[in-house]
Structure 1
């Protein structure tokens, strides 16, 4: 047992050279913004800026209000952070507080995300018994995918859940090998991602389910397995008690305006309007074709663990596509579909498992290196393209109807506000219009 723990700890230790390479690649990815000094104000930017600014001001003024927003969202008192990952909100709030302006915060948060995602994927692949070279290659490839780029390019918070997901999946190899519940790891890791991004925690649980069911069926100590599982579930609820208490105490006597319902979900799938998830990087599509082809050809040679992971990957590939009648589900008021909003989010676990299977089957160093180089170049080019609209006079705020710009301010004034030390100026000029989480006093028509 001591030997196994020592071996596991060695696998989770990040090789210094790989860590330095991950940091270097992360720095290369933020270089376009460092060169151009351009911002990316996309669909969810102002929403997250407001909630993180509120957290930062609470820290700065030592005036903590867990529920309502005192400083963000035009001091409207809407409840956001209490529902939307309070711990991660305060961590970002601290980063906002330490940043000189919104531009610095955006660059720093992007850099941290890239490093975190690379280290997380490296940990997952090392836990899966890959050598240092392949683990590092897979980590950099993951940094190049839209699962991570969703935040730098559009401020989609799914990327923060995606950054942690491989790390949370690193325990599955213990479950496959030893047919037991890892002590304290399952509860802690599930709570960690739940505190970060709730939908990502749902994806994690869906991925865990067939793996733990398999272990339960195969183990000879089923009673011990159930007891250990109850312990981990209890630990999870204990570590996420703040969210559960908040939700039930507030919703019991209050009504809120829920986030918008996406009535065109089918167009937000990877095979329709969101195909960019498949081609960032371009090599990802080639990897998908080769992994699926090899999977069906070599199915009989796969052991049980690989079969489960392969089927899990195919399952999420299907639900991230328009094969599922998402529009029909919305028309029939499916509450699950309404919560999901964007099916392309289910492509995150596909990306992780796809890289895992590709690293497992590809022994060509030149091919792996070529994919990494092409991926890095593509990300840098994308970052230059995505920051270019900031130089225009009419499309520099790319959030559509989700924000409104105070008409009394010139274009230069609006842009300059994001570089001011007083971060509240930008949030007063560019206001969020969608009424998510505001109190509902009358029933909507």
Structure 2
């Protein structure tokens, strides 16, 4: 029994080390009880609060945002990680405050990413010391820390990328069964339910692995069939996502996200920071040495060659050395879709780090009795770890310090209104009523707004139009959420006449004003309806009509996900039971 306990402790030590490193990175925020309100925090907090209120009130509205985004009824969650939003809503409901939510969710992102990198490096048979060091380095670079620093959704793509690369490596190493369709289906389903852009990155990354695996496979027909099963299963399990996008775009002209200068947002060498668009010089040198090593040992390992060459190409594409200035002029749609070339590092970093783990292990294996070589390799990785962990922890400290200042917010990007009372703003992230924060900070975002056809070719900033037409006037109306996902606006008018309501309507929206359903009405540049008010009290009720075919897709995907979850729990119980039986026998 004592021997078995030692084995369990020995098995758990790397995961404990990942948890400890996560705690070190987050330590400045934890001890100060500060909330880092970054570039995307308010946007995603609105999403998760809406989901939390739906769950709390039992008043479901899959499409309309009835509790958040100025209670405007605009559509966000249905086409942007819908089930992930509800999971975060559950987490927020359990934890109660934004501070507790941010700490726990940030820990989960770090830990999931760190464990994934650990499993990935273990898969290529690197020794535990090397595996652990590259995993800890991974925690501190790129987009992974950006969930804590700014609630950027790319952090979740970064956290899950190592698991995707494990699937890719299996494709080129397991010649009898290159595609494990259940694993591939589960991975792609999860990332699509979280972040659609990351799922595109994952798909494109797996293509080279798939081609190499198909060439090397001894059972190509089985590989193609397993791939087809994974694709079909993913389509079924994500019907709620692509179905919502299809339904919304069939009859509406949907606004694109804001465009960004891609050259400015490409990866840049830095002296002191390695998150988002920066990477310290020493990491560039380390990645360059990895490429040189692979070139000189090209025939030694197909896996090392593949991950290193792919990682290097993607890293260069994500950087300022790639001609993004010319590309964004030739293909302007990339400014609103990809937006930031440095997003590609969610793929490049784990590819290069697993390659480094393999190269380090090969150097050690070349002289297994040379302890100096092991110390040198470990020392190099340890030095790299210090190079990245100190700036990342410092960044957390600086951003937490801003929370204690008069500014409170770490970013003022696209903010429409912020309260002048910094004390009340700080209190709002610690109160058990998280909606208070969203009333004190309001952000303008153009994503998924319906643009009437006559305004499509007109030049105007849609986010400012939303601010002028919705945000500035929302407080002039009383908002009440009704059963069956309906939203009611009420107001008193001194005179009859035309008025614009601070809500967003789509072709599928149903609007009833003072008891009369409006079938035709004028809409503004962002979809706000113009209606005729009567003198005295007025009411308007907004609802969203889901197509019958979408309801079928939603039901099928939810049933499928429930079955998949039940199967996962069953397999988990079997694994735990086997560990328990082994422990008893010992």
Fold match (TM-score > 0.5): yes
Mapped contact 1:144–1:281 kept (Cα < 8 A): no
Alpha-carbon offset, residue 318 of structure 1: 2.1
Q: Secondary structure at the match of 2:54?
A: helix
Alpha-carbon offset, residue 384 of structure 1: 0.7
Structure 2: gaps of 5 or more residues: 1-9, 361-373, 459-586
Alpha-carbon offset, residue 430 of structure 1: 0.3
Question: Which of the numbers 339, 346, 356 marks the counterpart of 1:341?
Answer: 339
Partner in structure 2 of residue 383 of structure 1: 396
Separation of aligned partners in 1, 2:312 and 2:378: 27
TM-score computed with the length of structure 1 as normaliser: 0.90
Call closer, same or farther: CA 1:183–1:256 in 2, change over 3 Å: closer
Superposed structure 1 runs of 4+ greater than 4 Å apart: 272-283
Call closer, same or farther: CA 1:190–1:406 in 2, change over 3 Å: closer
Alpha-carbon offset, residue 101 of structure 1: 1.5
Q: Please tell me the root mean square deviation across aligned C-alpha atoms, in Å.
A: 2.4
Question: Which of the numbers 434, 437, 440 marks the counterpart of 2:448?
Answer: 437
Alpha-carbon offset, residue 45 of structure 1: 0.8
Q: Secondary structure at the match of 1:397?
A: coil
Structure 1: gaps of 5 or more residues: 1-13
Mapped contact 2:97–2:434 kept (Cα < 8 A): yes
Alpha-carbon offset, residue 114 of structure 1: 1.1
Mapped contact 1:279–1:285 kept (Cα < 8 A): no
Mapped contact 1:165–1:193 kept (Cα < 8 A): no
Within 5 Å, give how 1:161-172 maps onto structure 2: 161-172=157-168
Q: Secondary structure at the match of 2:308?
A: helix
Alpha-carbon offset, residue 375 of structure 1: 3.6
Mapped contact 1:283–1:375 kept (Cα < 8 A): no
In the alignment, is residue 412 of structure 1 matched against residue 423 of structure 2? yes
Partner in structure 1 of residue 197 of structure 2: 199
Mapped contact 1:272–1:322 kept (Cα < 8 A): no
TM-score computed with the length of structure 2 as normaliser: 0.69
Separation of aligned partners in 2, 1:272 and 1:336: 23
**Structure possessing the higher radius of gyration over alpha carbons:** 2
In the alignment, is residue 288 of structure 1 matched against residue 266 of structure 2? no
Call closer, same or farther: CA 1:100–1:352 in 2, change over 3 Å: same
Partner in structure 1 of residue 142 of structure 2: 146
Mapped contact 1:329–1:337 kept (Cα < 8 A): no
Within 5 Å, give how 1:104-183 maps onto structure 2: 104-179=100-175, 180-183=178-181
Call closer, same or farther: CA 1:429–1:19 in 2, change over 3 Å: same
Mapped contact 1:52–1:93 kept (Cα < 8 A): yes
Which structure carries more strand by proportion?
2
Separation of aligned partners in 1, 2:404 and 2:356: 39
Separation of aligned partners in 2, 1:76 and 1:68: 8
Call closer, same or farther: CA 1:256–1:265 in 2, change over 3 Å: same
Call closer, same or farther: CA 1:333–1:172 in 2, change over 3 Å: closer
Q: Secondary structure at the match of 2:264?
A: helix
Mapped contact 1:269–1:275 kept (Cα < 8 A): no
Which structure carries more helix by proportion?
1
Partner in structure 2 of residue 397 of structure 1: 409
Partner in structure 1 of residue 433 of structure 2: 422
Partner in structure 2 of residue 259 of structure 1: 257
Separation of aligned partners in 2, 1:321 and 1:147: 14
Alpha-carbon offset, residue 282 of structure 1: 6.5
Q: 184-193 vs 277-286, which deviates more?
A: 277-286
